[in-house]
Structures are given as C-alpha cells and as structure tokens.
Structure 1
Amino acid sequence: MPGFEMLYQAAALCLTYPDDEFRARLPLLREAAPQLREFTDHAALTDPQVLAAHYVQVFDFKNRHSLYLSWWRDGDTRRRGMSLVRFKDVYRAHGLEFTGEELPDFLPAVLEFASRTGNTDLLTEHRATLEQLRSRLTDFGTPYACVLDAVCATLPPARTGARS
C-alpha cells in the first residue's frame, strides 16, 4: 500500500510510551498524519503523567491489549520463538537489522519497518490480529483505538478464517 509510510511512522510513535520526546513530537505528528489527529489532540491536551499512566493501564497490564503481534497467535509458547525469528528474517531480507530493546513483533517496530520499506506484508499477515486489538481498544474506550483505526483502514480486509 504505497503512500502510507508517513502514517505508519506516526502511528509507530503514537503507540510507544508517551515520554518527553513523544510530547515534543506531537505537533509534527499532528501535521504529518491527519488521520491521527483525534489521538494527537487528545495526547496534547492530556496531562503527561495521566497519559503515561493510561498507556501503562492499556498496554502493560495482562495481555488483553498486547502490542506483540505473535503473542496473539502463539501466546507464550515455544512456537512464538519461531515467529519472532521470522520477523527478524523479514527485516533482514529488506536490509534492516532489528536491534531494538523490544521484540521484533512489537507493533511500533512493525509499523516503522513498513514506513521505511513500504512493505506491508507483516501488517497484512497479522490483519486479523490488528482488528482484534482495534476492537478491544475500542471496547476499552481508549483513544489509542483511533491509531489502530487509521492503520487498519490502509490494509486490505482480513481474510475470513484467518488465524491471527
């Protein structure tokens, strides 16, 4: 899906912990990705400590809103190790070496990969997972759902019966 690289980069930043760097980038994110304005406006108007606490509440308690794509399919099993290797292999095949502190299936890392390469295969492969996460975030009532709404809108529909 060409043309969505800026959105993917902005979405990646919106889905990381909202530290001081994130807050400093909010005006740029707002202008670069109008699809994310609902979220960026919310983040800009929310007290930094409240926003950080909300991020932890949404993404760090249990796995109900996990940002680790292979977790949705594999859980905490040995099979997940092979899935993580596959993510690294895809990055490597595009000339990128994954060196982040997070695991390679961390959604912001996958979005950054799509932004840098224009390759949305990993996002498309995990489309059903993204929809499930989007639905759970919507049900939870968090503004982070808007970020998933924008990303999902760029991808082809999930295949019926897809396992993700």
Structure 2
Amino acid sequence: MRLLSRTRPNLQDRLVWQCASLLLSYPQADRLDTAADLLSHLKVQAAERLSMTLDAVRRMDPLQAAQNYVDTFDMRRATTMYLTYWTAGDTRNRGAAMLAFVQAYRAAGSAPPADEAPDHLPVVLEFAATVDPDLGRRLLAEHRTPIDVLHKALTDAGSPYAHAVAAVLATLPAATDADASRVQRLLAAGPPSEAVGLQPFTLTVPPRRAQGG
C-alpha cells in the first residue's frame, strides 16, 4: 500500500478535486459554469491545467461535446474512469474492490451514489472535495496507478481531458519507479482477467449513457 504524505488536504486540493470532478463529468452548461467559477480561486498552475480542459469543451457545440465525451470515456477501455477496472479487471476481486469504495463513503456518513458506480473518478473526486478530504485523498492516492494509466491514455489520444487528470495527479504523492513500471505494464497488457466469478461486476466498459446523464 502506498505510504501517504502526512500533509493533509488543503483548500486548494479540494478546489482542484471539485473542479476536476465537474469537468470530467458528462458535459452540461451548469457544470461548466461552476467549474469556471472555481478556477478564479485556484493557484496558477492548477488553474491553467483545468482551464485547458474547460476551454476545449466550451469550444465544442453541446452535441459535439457530448459525443466526444461518450467516445472518450464510454467506448474505450484504455480511458475508462472506473478505477477498479485497472486494479481488479474482470476478476472476482472486482466486487471487493467496488465494495471498498462503498464502505468508505458509508464510513464518512455519505450514501453511495445511486446513479453511478462508486469507483467512478468524478464521484471519488466529489467525495474527496466535499465530504471527507482525508479519506478521499487516501482513495485517490491508493488508486494513483489507474489515474496515471488514464492520464497517459488521454494524453496519447490528444484529449483535452488529460489536463484535468494531470491537475488531480499533482495533488497526490509523487509516483514511484515501481508505479511507473506498473502503468506501462497495464497499458501494454491490460488489467487482470478471469473467466469465472464475475457476477455482479462484469462491466468493464460502461454502456452508452443517455444524453444528459
């Protein structure tokens, strides 16, 4: 398990997490407006990274932005934001990995999300920003490798969403050499796989979401 820095999450970290959560969610005008408001309270480097994502999404018309989001996150395994896909893959461990997120939310007095998986990165970011920053940061840090894989895949695809993920990574403990090696292995070989014991967590790439979801 990753050893975490003793530094507790500060307001800047929480603002980054909330802004990134909004930008990495399905694009809607109110979410983008709220993200824009948060940028004025962020330090320069984080604001610049997040602004690059915001500006790119806003340059698209709404239908184009929605289609780009679905194509990026819902149709490609390499850029899924379901963190346990990379740590557990299609194995019996997937259920336990998902349950760990649910238990963390309940321990903080928060109900698990009803309309999204508990390991979805925007959900985890919002939890860290608004409910329990210490526990949320621990969840993010423990899943730094999946977030790094996501960032690398988005960067390779030339996606503007890579900048928002980079802003999140900058709030976490630095990656080790072992972390970097594991990222490369996952990108090359994919997550763990197993042919049995998958119910009820068989989903690797989520189905096409309804517009406005």
Is the TM-score greater than 0.5?
A: yes
User: C-alpha distance in 1, partners of 2:114/2:29?
Assistant: 19
Gaps of 5+ in 1: none
User: C-alpha distance in 1, partners of 2:152/2:123?
Assistant: 21
Q: Which residue of 1 aligns with 2:26?
A: 17
User: C-alpha distance in 1, partners of 2:29/2:90?
Assistant: 32
Secondary structure of 1:89 counterpart: helix
Q: Following TM superposition, by how much is the alpha carbon of 1:159 offset from its aligned partner in structure 2, in angstroms?
A: 3.6
Relative to structure 1, the CA distance from residue 151 to residue 159 in structure 2 (aligned partners, 3 Å threshold; closer, same or farther) is same
- Aligned match for 2:148, one of 101, 124, 131: 131
- Aligned match for 1:28, one of 25, 37, 46: 37
Q: Which structure has the bigger radius of gyration? A: 2
User: C-alpha distance in 2, partners of 1:19/1:45?
Assistant: 13
Q: Check whether the contact 2:124–2:140 (CA below 8 A) recurs between aligned residues.
A: yes
Relative to structure 1, the CA distance from residue 69 to residue 102 in structure 2 (aligned partners, 3 Å threshold; closer, same or farther) is same
User: C-alpha distance in 2, partners of 1:99/1:127?
Assistant: 21
1:107-118 matches, cutoff 5 A = 107-116=121-130, 117-118=132-133
Q: Which residue of 1 aligns with 2:16?
A: 7
- Aligned match for 2:117, one of 79, 103, 115: 103
Amino acid at match of 1:72: W
Q: Following TM superposition, by how much is the alpha carbon of 1:91 offset from its aligned partner in structure 2, in angstroms?
A: 1.2
Amino acid at match of 2:141: T
Q: Which residue of 1 aligns with 2:197?
A: none
1:1-164 matches, cutoff 5 A = 1-3=9-11, 4-33=13-42, 34-35=47-48, 36-116=50-130, 117-119=132-134, 120-162=137-179
Q: Following TM superposition, by how much is the alpha carbon of 1:152 offset from its aligned partner in structure 2, in angstroms?
A: 0.4
User: C-alpha distance in 1, partners of 2:27/2:58?
Assistant: 11
Q: Check whether the contact 1:30–1:41 (CA below 8 A) recurs between aligned residues.
A: no
Secondary structure of 2:55 counterpart: helix
After TM superposition, the score normalised by the length of structure 2 is 0.71
Displacement over 6 Å in runs of 4+: none
Q: Check whether the contact 1:39–1:147 (CA below 8 A) recurs between aligned residues.
A: yes
Q: Deviations over 1:46-84 (max 9, x none)?
A: 211111111111101131101000111111222101111
Relative to structure 1, the CA distance from residue 26 to residue 91 in structure 2 (aligned partners, 3 Å threshold; closer, same or farther) is closer
Amino acid at match of 1:60: D
